[in-house]
């Protein structure tokens, strides 16, 4: 039914007031019960929703003055039209009794000195459609009770306060704006109220502009504990929302619904790109002491920006952040695009657009603030951060502060870049429980002046709990840095490129990596892999060591000025296994390190070798393939096993003040060499005026050890200044040498456990040079040769020389020992504490050149001595029928020959000049050339058979003794042709000895 209203002028409110006929005035005493509810509903004829025919009564024209009473229906309400519909200069147009009205429509101007429209008791059952202007000095629209909907295509503004204020009431139908909503402190303020839309589930749809000139464009809730504000529905922006802070969900706000900043062509304004812009903050969630919850996502296709922060979660929860091709940025210096200070993003951040800005000191995504904890999480199949766009562009890309965490992994197929650090972890970056990966990169992660990924900083500990998997590019001044207090609790797997951009590191670990490194791609320390260090394990001190557990496995390329460098406080547990390339290269003309340099510890796991190589380890022109120790002692607690190539300009393997505990095994396909002049394949030496180098476990070679360049050496033990030891012996069935020296044992150094050769040991100068000690294991042979020991210009085996050398044990040869000058040479200060046993061939200008002045020894020959024998003070035993000497035999007064088999000195130069000669029982000497005995008691003692050829006269300078049972046989061809023995000393034939004449013809 209809009610009768009068329009009267209210002095209290300074405006026209619609008053029911039965309403008593405020001056009417206690019976006056008027309530300020409802609203003045003002509408234009052009509206978005069709309404019933307008009321016949209470129709006005623009500019009319209303002095009487008219009938106002309950619905559709009061309609006033005209270019100047109603201009109110008082407080507002308002109702004074409770009722449910129809729609309020305006196409003109509504203004008030306080509120333009106020609803404090009534219910606005339709919507407000403003094609004109609604304004108020304090509030353009002030709602403290139920209002269904607000639709604006004109202007709703406040000159000093709030555009639309909802306090302790309900705005049940949302706001649609295709015009301007503006205020000074706020454009829209929802405080301790309900803001909901259960039909479209959209509480704000903005195609126009919502702006605050001095405050927040949209603000809900407040910082008072217990003051709750409920929002049910999404906020959809296709236009501009701007203010000091654009969207603020202050303390106590609970929103069920998303925030969408989108692109639309549906507006009457045409194609729009949404922008949420704050001079301070774009979107702000929570307050210092009171949290807020957004049970929905922020979805962005447009621009979200703030001077200091694009999106700021100060204290609260957000379900997710999805940036679909849009931009989220902070525009001022030291700004942050997305900052989760205290609270969390529950289901992660997904970006296919741009998050970040180029301002100095800016950060793209910051989690936590170092005091309060922030969290970005995911789920089983939802990573914490997924990026296919761009994150960064400023100083830091992603910054996880102390006490905060990013869970369920970071997955990047786009670009994460920064001027300084792309990803900084001072809190925790945790893995996805299904994959175990914490960082998965198939795109680009780049930090220009610092690092792509940095874990920990100074005293701040950081942890990546899970693996890093890379198939893209990770680059930086140092690409990945694990600081002293940092931990990578997982494996680094690289199928892409990890690159240091300057002379720094591809990977620098000063903390802990528990899962090791699996490289199938490229890791390098500087441009083109020719500067910096590819992988560095650098501990700070003994109390802060660096460690890689589970070792390094490489099937790709590791390259830098040093490939892998472990300092004195560093450890690689689990060893290094290479089936790719580990290289040391340099951009300059000098410098360069080693492919693998160990000043600390590299250990095998479960008996595993410390270093296994099946491909290439190359130290370049100025370094070593593998260097153990320098000024600090390095240790390999396991062996080196090689079936590939280990090469370096200085040496293939260098132990300099270091230790290899498990020995070296070089298989048939293996090559260990020095590539430059005067280099060494294996160098075991002290240096830097300090400690010694050593290897235990021996060396076993089936391949090649040595280089072919001028002055190149195979195995060098010692530098002549410090004591160095190789224990466990050397076994060779391949090739050692090819350059100047095969094996060189220097002064003060030793090879213990003996040398067993079934292959080739070669050196142009010397094949085996002993200036230190070559020893057996206490008994047996020091050198056993069944192969070839050869020198093209010098001695095959040399003992002593510029300094004393010692072979502690015997030399046993069943192969070939060949030297251009000497087969075996023992210098005057050389010592053999054993014997020389030859069943093979010893060849040289001098097969034996024995110049030792002390420690005489015995040579047992049952093979061929092809060359002269300089016996010195030693004893030569000529054994067996096959004993051959192709050369003369000479010795000192103490020298001696013992003949136990059949021997013929038939060579034209095969003279014998020794101290004494003994023909043992059963032995035969066919004397073709003269014998000179020069001993103090020179004696040819015949206890066997001495044969003189027919027609030959042999002169014995010395004495002759023939034992009982011995035989002197002379050939007889004729009365004038028979064998003669001329003795210029004494001749003594014992009783029972024989002289036989062998008649020829």
Please report where in the chains the tokens 């004495």 appear, as a residue: 959
Chain centroid, CA 769 distance in Å: 44
Question: Among 173-187, 257-271, 766-780, 935-949, whose mean pLDDT is lowest?
Answer: 257-271
pLDDT digit string, tens, across residues 744-793: 999 999 999 999 999 999 999 999 999 999 999 888 899 999 999 999 99
Rg (CA), the chain: 50
Q: Are 942 and 964 in contact (CB under 8 A)?
A: no
pLDDT digit string, tens, across residues 204-213: 999 999 999 9
Cα–Cα nearest to 321, from 398, 256, 377: 377
Q: What is the share, in percent, of the chain residues with pLDDT greater than 70?
A: 85
Torsion of Cα atoms, 462 then 466 then 471 then 473, to 10°: 0
Q: Is beta strand 680-685 parallel, antiparallel or unpaired with respect to 741-745?
A: unpaired
Rounded CA-CA distance 594/754 in Å is 30
Q: Which residues pair with 400 in a beta bridge?
A: 367, 425
Q: Are 947 and 927 in contact (CB under 8 A)?
A: yes
Q: Is 80 exceeded by the pLDDT of residue 326? A: yes
pLDDT for position 115 = 86
Please report where in the chains the tokens 């490489």 appear, as a residue: 554
Mark 393-432 as b/e (b = at least 16 C-beta within 10 Å).
Answer: bbbbbbbbbbbbbbbbbbbbbbbbbbbbbbbbbbbbbbbb
Q: Is 80 exceeded by the pLDDT of residue 722? A: yes
pLDDT digit string, tens, across residues 376-424: 998 777 899 999 999 999 999 999 999 999 999 999 999 999 999 999 9
Q: What angle do CA 233, 239, 245 make, to 5 degrees?
A: 75
Rounded CA-CA distance 818/578 in Å is 37
The confidence band for 683, taking pLDDT boundaries of 50, 70 and 90, is very high
958 to 772, 986, 988: CA distances (angstroms): 39, 7, 12
Q: Are 722 and 753 in contact (CB under 8 A)?
A: no
Over range 151-172, report the average pLDDT. Answer: 90
Q: Helical H runs in 895-964?
A: none
End-to-end CA distance of the chain: 168
Please report where in the chains the tokens 């109603």 appear, as a residue: 86
Q: Helical H runs in 758-896?
A: none
Q: Which two tokens stand for residue 620?
A: 């370049």
Helices (H) and strands (E) in the chain, counts: 0, 126
The torsion region of residue 529 among left (phi > 0), alpha (psi -120 to 50) and beta comes to left
pLDDT for position 84 = 33
The confidence band for 715, taking pLDDT boundaries of 50, 70 and 90, is very high
Asked if residue 495 has a cis previous peptide bond (ω within 30° of 0), the answer is: no
Q: Which two tokens stand for residue 643?
A: 């079936």
Cα–Cα nearest to 717, from 694, 684, 692, 748: 684
Cα–Cα nearest to 486, from 540, 437, 412, 553: 540
Cβ atoms < 10 Å from Cβ of 28: 11
Rounded CA-CA distance 536/549 in Å is 14
Q: Which two tokens stand for residue 471?
A: 């198939």
Q: For 59-62, which contacts have Cβ atoms below 8 Å and span 24 or more sequence positions?
A: 62/108
pLDDT digit string, tens, across residues 837-868: 999 999 999 999 999 999 999 999 999 999 99
Q: Are 727 and 777 in contact (CB under 8 A)?
A: no
Q: Is 90 exceeded by the pLDDT of residue 829? A: yes
pLDDT digit string, tens, across residues 78-119: 444 333 333 333 333 443 334 344 456 677 788 888 888 877
Rounded CA-CA distance 919/400 in Å is 92
Q: Is 70 exceeded by the pLDDT of residue 329? A: yes
Kindly report the pTM of this predicted structure.
Answer: 0.85
pLDDT digit string, tens, across residues 685-698: 875 545 567 899 99
Q: Is 80 exceeded by the pLDDT of residue 24? A: no
Cα–Cα nearest to 526, from 502, 497, 559: 502
The 8-class DSSP code of residue 457 comes to B
Rounded CA-CA distance 973/967 in Å is 19
Q: Are 203 and 177 in contact (CB under 8 A)?
A: no
pLDDT for position 952 = 84
pLDDT for position 835 = 96
Q: What are phi and psi of 29, to 5 degrees?
A: 80, -155
Question: Among 130-144, 473-487, 976-990, whose mean pLDDT is lowest?
Answer: 130-144
């Amino acid at each position: 039914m209809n009610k009768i209203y009068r329009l009267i002028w209210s002095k209290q409110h300074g405006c026209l007031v619609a008053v029911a006929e039965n309403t008593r005035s405020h001056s009417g005493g206690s019976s006056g019960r008027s309530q300020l509810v409802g609203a003045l509903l003002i509408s234009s004829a052009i509206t978005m929703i069709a309404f019933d025919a307008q009321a016949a009564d209470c129709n006005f024209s623009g500019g009319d003055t209303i002095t009487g009473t008219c009938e106002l229906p309950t619905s559709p309400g009061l309609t006033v039209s005209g270019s100047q519909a109603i201009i109110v200069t008082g407080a507002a147009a308002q109702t004074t009794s409770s009722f449910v009205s129809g729609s309020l429509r305006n196409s003109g101007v509504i203004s008030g000195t306080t509120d333009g429209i106020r609803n404090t008791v009534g219910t606005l059952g339709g919507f407000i459609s403003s094609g004109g202007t609604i304004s108020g000095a304090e509030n353009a629209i002030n709602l403290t009770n139920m209002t269904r909907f607000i639709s604006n295509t004109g202007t709703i503004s406040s000159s000093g306060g709030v555009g639309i204020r909802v306090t302790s009431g309900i705005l049940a139908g949302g706001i649609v704006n295709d015009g301007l909503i503006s205020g000074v402190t706020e454009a829209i303020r929802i405080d301790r109220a309900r803001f909901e839309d259960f039909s479209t589930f959209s509480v704000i749809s903005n195609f126009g502009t919502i702006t605050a000139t001095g405050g927040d464009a949209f603000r809900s809730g407040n910082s008072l504990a217990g003051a709750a504000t409920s929002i049910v529905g999404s906020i959809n922006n296709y236009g501009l929302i701007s203010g000091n802070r654009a969207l603020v969900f202050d303390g106590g706000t609970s929103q069920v619904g998303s925030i969408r900043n989108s692109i639309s062509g549906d507006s009457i304004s045409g194609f729009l790109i949404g922008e949420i812009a704050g001079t301070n903050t774009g979107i702000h969630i929570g307050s210092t002491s009171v949290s807020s919850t957004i049970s929905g996502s922020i979805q962005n296709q447009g621009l979200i920006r703030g001077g200091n922060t694009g999106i700021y979660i100060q204290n609260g929860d957000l379900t997710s952040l999805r940036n679909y091709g849009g931009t989220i940025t902070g525009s001022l210096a030291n700004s942050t695009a997305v900052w989760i200070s205290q609270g969390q993003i529950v289901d992660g951040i997904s970006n296919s657009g741009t998050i970040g800005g180029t301002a100095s000191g800016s950060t793209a995504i910051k989690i936590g603030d170092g005091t309060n904890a922030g969290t970005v999480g995911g789920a089983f199949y939802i990573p914490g951060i997924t990026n296919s766009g761009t994150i960064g562009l400023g100083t830091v890309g992603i910054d996880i502060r102390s006490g905060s965490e990013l869970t369920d992994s970071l997955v990047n197929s786009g670009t994460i870049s920064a001027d300084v650090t792309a990803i900084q972890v001072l809190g925790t970056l945790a893995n996805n429980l299904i994959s175990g990966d914490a960082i998965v990169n198939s795109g680009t992660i780049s930090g220009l002046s610092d690092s792509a990924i940095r874990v920990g900083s100074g005293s701040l500990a950081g942890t990546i709990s899970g693996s890093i998997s890379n198939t893209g590019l990770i680059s930086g001044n140092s690409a990945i840095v694990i600081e002293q207090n940092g931990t990578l609790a997982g494996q680094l797997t690289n199928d892409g490129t990890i690159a240091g951009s300057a002379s720094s590191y591809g990977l620098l670990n000063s903390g802990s990596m528990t899962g090791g490194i699996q490289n199938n791609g490229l890791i390098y320390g500087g441009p083109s892999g020719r500067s910096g260090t590819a992988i560095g394990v650098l501990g700070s001190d003994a109390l802060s060591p660096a460690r890689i557990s589970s070792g390094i496995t490489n099937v790709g390329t590791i390259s830098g000025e040093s490939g892998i460098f472990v300092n004195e406080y560093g450890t690689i547990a689990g060893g290094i296994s290479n089936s790719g390339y580990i290289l040391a290269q340099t951009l300059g003309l000098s410098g360069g390190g080693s492919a693998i340099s160990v000043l600390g510890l590299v250990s095998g796991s479960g008996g595993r070798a410390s270093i296994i190589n099946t491909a290439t380890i190359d130290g370049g022109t100025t370094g070593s393939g593998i260097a153990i120790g320098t000024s600090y002692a390095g240790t390999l607690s396991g062996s080196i096993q090689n079936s590939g190539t280990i090469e370096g300009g200085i040496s293939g393997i260098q132990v300099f003040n270091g230790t290899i505990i498990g020995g070296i095994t070089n298989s048939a396909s293996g090559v260990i060499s020095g590539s430059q002049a005067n280099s060494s394949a294996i160098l075991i030496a002290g240096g830097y005026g300090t400690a010694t180098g050593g290897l235990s476990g021996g060396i076993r070679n089936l391949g090649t050890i040595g280089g072919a360049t001028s002055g190149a050496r195979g195995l060098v033990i010692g530098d002549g200044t410090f004591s160095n030891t190789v224990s466990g012996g050397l076994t060779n069935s391949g090739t050692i040498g090819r350059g100047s020296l095969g094996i060189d044992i220097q002064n003060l150094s030793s090879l213990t456990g003996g040398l067993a050769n079934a292959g080739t040991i070669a050196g142009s100068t010397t094949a085996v040079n002993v200036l230190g000690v070559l020893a057996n294991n206490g008994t047996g042979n020091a050198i056993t040769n069944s192969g070839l020991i050869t020198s093209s210009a010098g001695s095959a085996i040399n003992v002593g020389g510029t300094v004393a050398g010692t072979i502690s044990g015997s030399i046993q040869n069943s192969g070939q020992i060949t030297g251009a000058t000497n087969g075996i040479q023992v210098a005057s200060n050389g010592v053999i504490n054993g014997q020389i046993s030859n069943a093979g061939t010893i060849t040289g200008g001098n097969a034996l050149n024995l110049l030792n002045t002390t420690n005489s020894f015995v040579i047992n020959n049952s093979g061929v001595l092809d060359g002269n024998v300089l016996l010195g003070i030693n004893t030569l035993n000529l054994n067996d029928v096959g004993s051959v000497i192709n050369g003369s035999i000479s010795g000192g007064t103490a020298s001696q020959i013992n003949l136990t088999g059949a021997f013929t000195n038939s060579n034209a130069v095969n003279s014998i000049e020794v101290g004494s000669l003994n023909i043992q029982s059963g032995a035969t000497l066919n004397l073709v050339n003269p014998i000179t005995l020069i001993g103090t008691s020179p004696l040819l003692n015949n206890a066997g058979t001495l044969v003189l050829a027919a027609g030959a006269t042999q002169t014995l300078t010395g004495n002759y003794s023939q034992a009982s049972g011995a035989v002197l046989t002379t050939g007889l061809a004729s009365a004038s042709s028979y064998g003669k023995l001329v003795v210029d000393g004494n001749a003594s034939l014992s009783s029972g000895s024989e002289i036989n004449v062998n008649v020829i013809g």
